[in-house]
Amino acid sequence: MIRFACAKINIGLNIKNKRLDGYHEIETVFFPINVNDVVEIVVSMEDKICLKNYGINIQVDIFENLCYKAWRILKELYDLPYVKMFLYKSIPIGAGLGGGSSDAASTLILLNNLFKLNLSEIELKKYALQLGSDCPFFINPQISYATGRGELLEPLNINIDFSSFFIVIVYPNISISTAKAYSMAKKFNPDVYLKDLILNKPLTEWRYYIKNYFEDILSNDYSFIKEIKNKLYANGAVYASLSGSGSCIYGIFDKGVIPSDIYKAFNSYNVLISNFI
C-alpha cells in the first residue's frame, strides 16, 4: 500500500509567546504543495520491523525515524504485525517543508487502511500530535490557519486563484534544526493577527505585511536567507519567504514567468518547482 506524502510551506509565521509546557504559541498558515515523498508499507514475513530509505539519505537510526515511531504507537494499541516500510525521500530535510511529519502522518493513514483499524480523522490527528506539532496537518492537508503549537487547525478559504501561480523553492543545501531555531526566540509579537492579514490583503501586498518571525532571528547566522529572498524578488516573485524555521526559501510567481530563467539564477542551489494543491 502506497501513499504520496506532500510537503507544505508556511505563509507567515508569528510567535505569540512561550508556553508553560516549554512550547511556543504560534500562528501560521500551512499550504500543501505538490512536492512529495512516497511511503510504502507491506506486511513482513519476519518478526522484525524493516525500513528502507531511497532518494535523499535521512541518516537516522530506525528507532528515531518518525515512520517507525508512528508504527510503534499503533502497534502498542492494536497489536499490529511487523511491517516493511519503504520511504522514497524527495522532500529536503531540515528545510521547513514538513517532510518528516508528512511521512509520519502517511504511515498512520496507511496502517489504518492496511489493517482496517477504522480510526477517524480526529483519532489519527491525536496520534499524529505525539509525533510532531505540525504532523496533524498532514492527516488531511488543506490550506489551514494553525495556532497553538501548530496543531489547532482551521481550514481557510482565501479569495485568491492560486492556480494562476507556481512556487519556486530554493534549498540552500543546509539543514536548520527546528529546536535550535525556537531556542533563539526571545521577543514575541502577541498583537499581530496573521489570519486577518492573509484574508484582507491582496497577494501583491503580502510582502509588506506578512512576515516569518524566524527570518530576522536566523539571518545573522544564515546570511543566505536574505540573499535568496532578494534574488527571488529580483526574478519576479510576487511574494517570497522563509518556510517554517527554514532552511528553504520560496517565492510565489505568476505563471507568466519562465521557470528556466529562475533555475539559471539559482544554479548553485537545489531548486524545486511546485504548484499549490
Query: How is 222-241 classified by DSSP, letter by letter?
Result: -THHHHHHHHHHHTT-SEEE
- Residues acting as catalytic residues: 8, 134
Beta bridge partners of 8: 32
What residues have CB less than 8 Å from 12, skipping those under 6 apart? 27, 28, 29, 194, 197, 198, 210, 211, 212, 241
What residues have CB less than 8 Å from 127, skipping those under 6 apart? 70, 73, 74, 108, 119
Q: Which three cell numbers stand for residue 174?
A: 543546509
Burial, 75: exposed, middle or buried (Cβ in 10 Å; 0-12, 13-18, 19+)?
A: middle
Return the DSSP state at 212: B
